Amino acid sequence: MGQRVVIFIDGSNFYHGLRAGLGRTNINFQKFSQFLVGDRELIRTYYYNVVVDRTSDPERYKKQQRFLNALRQLPQFHLALGRLVQRGQTWTEKGVDVQIAVDMLGMAFHNAYDVAILVSGDGDFAAAVEEVKRLGKIVEYAYFDSGRSRRLQQACDKFHLLNSKTLKKCLI
């Protein structure tokens, strides 16, 4: 029996990584998931993000809704949404990082996977990664050279470098 893999994608972080690392953001998430999993068994890909404010930017909201609806149609793909909170003139993501950490730990505890692959540049996940490893799971980290967290990379068992060469078959 092969290794069972679950992918956890920090959507906003990944979007900014794609933009900074490749200068483009259009990616085929099915092909991307398959690239990360290889010949192992994909259980599910979890994609976390927040919905942009409809009133402040209706066109961006419509565009994002089309994108999120397309993701909802993908097999073995789960969309998890946090919330956007306004603080003064800025908007802040709430609930996304905590939900990723809770899901990684909860699924590890319930033996839902053998390998977790985390796609994020956020070093704050290192503590959750260490706990998942204590539960006997393997944790891999995938991100771009620019913006990657050394702390997170050191906490994980394996690193997948994302760049135009490795993602060539995943780009739209």
The type of residue at 118 is L
Assign a CATH topology to domain 4-170: Rossmann fold (3.40.50)
Instruction: Collect all residues with Cβ–Cβ distance below 8 Å to 147 and sequence separation of at least 6.
Output: 16, 17, 20, 21, 121
Strands (E), 103-165: 115-119, 138-144, 158-162
The per-residue pLDDT for 70 is 92
How many whole angstroms separate alpha carbon 120 and alpha carbon 141?
A: 8
Instruction: Yes or no: say if 169 and 35 are a contact pair by the CB < 8 Å rule.
Output: yes
The residue ranges of every structural domain in the chain are 4-170
Per-residue pLDDT tens digits for 129-158: 999 999 999 999 999 998 899 999 999 999
pTM of whole model > 0.85? Answer: yes
pLDDT band at residue 1 under the 50/70/90 scheme: low
Per-residue pLDDT tens digits for 74-131: 999 999 998 888 788 887 888 899 999 999 999 999 999 999 999 999 999 999 999 9
Residue environment code for 65-89, b if the CB has 16+ CB neighbours within 10 A, otherwise e: eeeeeebeeeeebeebebebeeeee
